[in-house]
């Protein structure tokens, strides 16, 4: 790496930079803002309760990257998903 180089590891749709494990893309189904939780659906249809404090605000239809029950990155908003 050269001095002044600012790019480095980042969260993306397939990988968690914190521990090296894979993140799981999920769609937000319902949000409990008071408890910073969301009911989410993975691509296989499984439903999971996810902590969203790191990526809030989120709304139903948003796509997030989840690792160990915690949303670690926002992937797309509901509006972006509808436009795609």
Percent of the chain with pLDDT over 90: 58
Q: Other C-beta atoms within 10 Å of 10: how many?
A: 8
pLDDT at 26: 96
Within the chain, residue ranges assigned H as helices are 78-83
CATH class of 28-83: mainly beta
Q: Give yes or no for residue 18 having a pLDDT over 80.
A: no
User: Which structure tokens are listed for 65?
Assistant: 């990257």
Q: N- to C-terminal Cα distance for the chain?
A: 36
- Is the pTM of the predicted complex or chain greater than 0.95? no
Domain boundaries defined on the chain: 28-83
Percent of the chain with pLDDT over 70: 75
* Distance (Å, whole) CA 72 – CA 25: 10
* Distance (Å, whole) CA 23 – CA 5: 26
Query: pLDDT tens digits for 21-53?
Result: 678 999 999 999 999 999 999 999 999 999 999
């Amino acid at each position: 790496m050269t001095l002044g180089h600012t790019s480095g590891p980042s969260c993306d749709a397939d990988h968690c930079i914190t521990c090296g494990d894979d993140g799981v893309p999920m769609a937000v189904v319902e949000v409990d803002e008071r408890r910073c939780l969301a009911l989410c659906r993975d691509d296989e249809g499984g439903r999971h309760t996810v902590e969203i404090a790191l990526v809030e605000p989120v709304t139903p239809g948003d796509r997030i990257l989840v690792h160990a029950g915690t949303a670690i990155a926002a992937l797309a908003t509901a509006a972006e998903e509808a436009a795609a």
